[in-house]
Chains A and B, each alone.
Chain A
Amino acid sequence: MKNELLHGTLEVMILKTLSWGRLHGYGIGRWIMDQGGDALRIEEGSLYPALYRLERKGLIDAEWGISEKNRKAKYYRLTPKGRRVLTAHVVTWTDFATAVGRVLSSADAPSPA
């Protein structure tokens, strides 16, 4: 249950991560887990296919660069299209989460039809 839920939202979270600036794959994974904690713990490997899918969709760009520890690393960056998609997703996602939250926390019993 937790993994399926994550799979759909992983791409949105990557976009969100990259909205702060360019970052390599490892950094993205660490940031998501830092923010989400154990609730969002995933297999680290599943991040990469998601990155390649996003690149193919044209939502993110990649280029090779040098990391802080002087290692060759592949850096990702949000494209303008990716930014638009992220904004749209954030709105839908927030609406959806609020709605689901309201239903789940409601104290009113369903009225008999």
Chain B
Amino acid sequence: MSPKWRRYLRFWRPDVRADVDDELAFHMQERVDDLVATGLDRNVAQQEAMRLFGDMPRVKDECIEEALKLETEMRRLETLDVLKQDAIYALRLMRAHPTFTSAIMLTLALGIGATTAVFSIVNAVLLRPLPYRDADRVVLIAETFRGGRGSASGGHVTDWTNQSRTVERTSIWQLRTINLTEGEPERLRAARVTPSFFEVLYVRPALGRYFLPEENADSRVTVLSHPLWVARFNADSAIIGRQVRLGGEPHTVVGVAPANFTMTEFDERLWTPFAITTEQARNYGAHMFTVFGKLKPGANIEQAQADLATITEGIRQRAPDEMNERGVQVVSYGSLLVDGWDTQLWVLLGAVTFVLLIGCVNVISLLLARATARRKEIAIRGALGGARARLVRQLLTESLLLATAGGLAGIIVAKVGIRFFVGMGPAGVPRLDEAGLNWQVLGFAIAATLLCGVVFGLVPAFRATRVDLQSELRDGGRGSRGVIRDRVRGTLIVAELAVALVLLVSAGLLLRSAYLLQRVEPGFDPRNVTMMRVALPALRYDSAEAVQAGFARILEQVRGVPGVEVAAAGTRVPMWGASIDIGVRVDGRPFNPKDLLIGHVRLVTDQYFETIRIPITKGRSLKASDLAAGAPSVIVVNETFARRTFGDENPIGKRISGWTRDTLPEWREIVGVSGDVRAFGRENESPPEIYMPMTQAPSNAWASYNRSMTFIAKSRPGISVTAPMRAALRNVDPELPAYDVQTMDNVLSQSTATRRFNTLLLTCLGLTGLLLAAIGIYGVIAFFVSQRTQEIGVRMALGASAGSVVGLVVRHAAALAGIGILVGGVAAYWATSALASMLFSIDARDPLAFVVGALALLGVALGAAWIPARRAARVPPIRALTDL
């Protein structure tokens, strides 16, 4: 009935079908025999037997079904039983060697924990999709100027929106700050958006609704951000429909955006609707809007880029003057958000994975050593008939148990690590605070654990079970094949040293960058200087005169604060605040609108240079008399501006013009040249700068600066003037919020906080790698020594000096370290290019970092080898005899 070959399978395992067939056949034979014995003819007897039996096929099916179930159950039980045995045995071993077990667990816990923590950050910031609907289709559309992304004009937005075949919808976003006067007045970052903004970036509102298509600035409505709603309105859901005062005007709250909505570093706290005017829609020269767009389904970035470039080219045909050196760029919003952070995070994940790898190598090394020690046990088990697969499974169970214990502890380490990163991480990393132990992160930890467990188990397992039973049992498990096994460990240690060198060189590069950066003179003296920003509401300070008078009154109060030695105000202080760059023409030179010199304009008061001690290198500083009504127009420029514009000529007395009401020049005379200041952070070159007395502000300048100024006050050392400065402001106008009140020292250190954080982390990882590598090489050398105790004893008995024994051992270590450094050097040469964007003023192949890293590693390796080498040299020669 069943094919013949099935029967042969029964040699290896039971074949239930054939068994049932055989059993029933036996029944029929016996029955027929019995019937024949009663005198029946054999043929009749067979028919009678079938009748007595009943439904043969059904019986057979029922039997096979039961038998198959039984077989499955048995096999499952058997597997479980073996597993249980293995696990019990492994646990007993773990308990018997607590130091060994805890060393491995600790290494794994730290390695897996740190890697998981960094992965959770990478996952939260880089890997998770943005919360917006169709987030992969959300793009930023920017006008470019000289290749850099910038804001777009109303005309551009209009043309892009109307003519594009690839962009489904566009919306405009414009940052502004606004005073919220409900209780304690507060200056808020806010955004003016076209109602479609919340359709392009859609997440279900936490409360209420977003803007209606017909709503604009006159609708006096606002959507609050979740943080503002919580902080200022106690997360009160009755807020919907209530009125709040924004910039002095009542606005109705129509909705609250969800907590995860805002991800830009601007972190706006509320939104108000607006629509561009018909004049703006025809203007191609005023670049002031940030444009978000949503691609049509199926369109990609490249298509959109090509499409919008064509439209922008059309604009160039119509308005060539406005389009000088300008273009368009489409960027995916997701990649824009993590721009800059992605490299740093991937580098960090790479570094922490390297540390895990080094840790793993150490663990494998330890397990190999133990497998060597257990060779006799394994040989006996093999001799007693333990199958190799069974032995491998036993060793694998042990290593998986170890890895699991380490992984569990690692999850705790990861939890602490994530809290550390979220708390200490640099500001501005999008969605950093959403990092946590979610199922993806746990999956990562579990995968890392299993991988470690399998690798740890298989390498020693296959080596250890490939033992020659006879020779092993004969020489009592002392092992004559140590040299070969040592080669495996040697290879491991070389790999470990190589990875450690990559880490060390990377850390060295970052440390050197940080050092070089710290040596860059910022160009001003932040000591004892406190800053405070103030913005005046348009409603009550509607003219330039009112704004200037308001700031003058505040400055007078600040200067009167006890302890303040000198104070001033400016629209921008170094490393902080907005600046506006303008095109400049020079008196006496032909005017060429296509080739304008660029300068960053700050409006300042007198004493500005004196307060933060920017030196005046030529001419004079700005004086109080320059701010008086009717004073002649004067400016101070910085050295970069002077050099770019006038070369070696003396700029004093020259006249320049820019940011004019119309095309006629408004000449201003250069009266002084100031020292260069690293205005945009230490790592960025000084920009060309122009300082204007605030009373001589160009038309509309105050609106562009949002009617805001930063007050700076230098106080006597050891005195905090933050509270009195706030009080001074309240004296002038109790409804004005003071914001960003802090010391300039703080501003300066904040400007390099991210870099310091990165450097600190990578240095820690580099040192951890170094330490682990030292432990690793120590282990290998100690093993090398223990294998050769006898040989060393003989050598010493024959008169070898302690020095030559130490030399023998250290030479072995040096050879390993040398190869490791060579391999690691090549790997680092290739790997450090990933760091290029994080370095300052040095090359990713900086020879100093490579040499110092290599020397440090060599030194540590030899130092680690020194300890067992000394021990070897103290081997008493008698050991050579007793150990025989």
Contact = CB atoms under 8 A, between A and B. Distances in A.
| A, B: real partners | yes
Interface of A: 24-26, 29-30, 43-46, 48-49, 51-53, 55-56, 67, 69, 71-74
A45 B53 contact: yes
Given A52-B67, A52-B70, A71-B29, 7 more contacts: A26-B31, A43-B54, A48-B20, A49-B62, A52-B66, A53-B66, A56-B73
A29 B59 CA distance: 15
Contacts of B302: none
Contact of A55 (B53, B56, B70): B70
Interface residues of B, number: 26
Of B33, B62, B66, the most chain A CB neighbours within 10 A belong to B66
Contact of A74 (B23, B31, B69): B23
28 contacts: A24-B26, A25-B26, A25-B27, A26-B27, A26-B30, A29-B27, A43-B52, A43-B54, A43-B55, A44-B53, A45-B55, A45-B58, A48-B20, A48-B27, A48-B63, A49-B63, A51-B63, A52-B63, A52-B66, A52-B67, A52-B70, A56-B67, A56-B73, A67-B30, A69-B30, A72-B26, A73-B23, A73-B26
Contacts of B19: 74
Nearest to B61: A49
A72 B26 CA distance: 7
B22 interface: yes
B54 A44 contact: yes
Contacts of B56: 45
A25 B23 CA distance: 8
Contacts of A72: 22, 26
B29 A44 contact: no
Given A25-B27, A45-B59, A74 B22 contact: yes
A45 B66 contact: no
B767 interface: no
Contacts of B26: 24-26, 67, 71-74
A48 to B, nearest CB: 5
Contacts of B59: 45-46, 48-49
Contacts of A43: 52-55
Q: Is the interface of A mostly helix, strand, loop or mixed?
A: helix
B24 interface: yes
Nearest to A68: B30
Contacts, number: 69
A-B pairs, 10 with minimum CB distance: A43-B54, A52-B66, A49-B62, A45-B54, A45-B59, A56-B70, A26-B30, A45-B53, A74-B23, A26-B27
A26 B27 CA distance: 5
Q: Is the interface of B mostly helix, strand, loop or mixed?
A: helix
Contacts of B67: 52, 55-56
B182 to A, nearest CB: 77
A25 B25 CA distance: 11
Interface string B47-81: 00000111110110011001101100100000000
Nearest to B66: A52
A46 B62 CA distance: 10
Nearest to B54: A43
Contacts of B66: 49, 52-53, 55-56
Contacts of B34: 30
Contacts of A74: 19, 22-23, 26
A56 to B, nearest CB: 4
A48 B19 CA distance: 12
Contacts of B54: 43-46
Contacts of A51: 63
A72 B69 CA distance: 24
A75 B48 CA distance: 24
B552 to A, nearest CB: 98
A24 B30 CA distance: 11
Nearest to A54: B66
A44 B63 contact: no
A11 B67 CA distance: 16
A39 to B, nearest CB: 17
A69 B20 CA distance: 20
Contacts of B53: 43-45
B752 to A, nearest CB: 74
Contacts of B31: 26, 44
Contacts of B24: 48
Of A30, A45, A51, A73, the most chain B CB neighbours within 10 A belong to A45
B76 to A, nearest CB: 13
Nearest to B16: A52
A43 to B, nearest CB: 3
Interface string B270-288: 0000000000000000000
Nearest to A49: B62
A17 B616 CA distance: 117
A44 B52 contact: yes
Contacts of A29: 27
B38 to A, nearest CB: 13
Contacts of B30: 26, 67, 69, 71
